[in-house]
Amino acid sequence: DGGITQSPKYLFRKEGQNVTLSCEQNLNHDAMYWYRQDPGQGLRLIYYSQIVNDFQKGDIAEGYSVSREKKESFPLTVTSAQKNPTAFYLCASSIDLRGYLRNQPQHFGDGTRLSIL
């Protein structure tokens, strides 16, 4: 079945350490997104990519980095500069950046929960 796979489900980060969250999709979607969820808040956009080798900052990009070397993969690195990384991270994809023009929703992975040791 087509879908989005995020790994790992749970991740622990030590102080000063960078960690990378994996996101892979086999939906042949051009656009991919990373969101962060904190308790009591809506999903907030960290980074998005509309095509291979291109990505843009979202609303809360500080302390994060991404790459888009392949269409199906959009890994997120949480760097040591991110002072409050404990959160739930969701990866999503859509046909293209303006998929809503064709009434297309976003498709989500199961998420990664990141905690600080």
Partner 1 sequence: ILNVEQSPQSLHVQEGDSTNFTCSFPSSNFYALHWYRWETAKSPEALFVMTLNGDEKKKGRISATLNTKEGYSYLYIKGSQPEDSATYLCAFIMDSSYKLIFGSGTRLLVRP
CA distance 15 to 69: 28
Q: Which is nearer to partner 1, 49 or 82 (CB)?
A: 49
**Residue 13 Cβ vs partner 1, minimum distance, rounded to whole Å:** 22
Nearest 10 degrees: CA dihedral of 43, 46, 48, 53? -160
| Cis status, amide bond into 75, omega within 30 of 0 | no
CA distances in angstroms from 70 to 32, 34, 73, 74, 102, listed in the order given: 11, 16, 5, 8, 24
Segment near partner 1 (CB under 8 A); pick from 14-22, 43-51, 66-74, 78-86: 43-51
For residue 95, state whether it binds partner 1 (rule: CB under 8 A).
no
CA distance 79 to 13: 10
For residue 103, state whether it binds partner 1 (rule: CB under 8 A).
yes
**Residue 32 Cβ vs partner 1, minimum distance, rounded to whole Å:** 12
For residue 105, state whether it binds partner 1 (rule: CB under 8 A).
yes
Applying CB under 8 A, the residues found at the interface with partner 1 are 4, 35, 40-45, 48, 50, 58-59, 90, 97-98, 100, 103-111
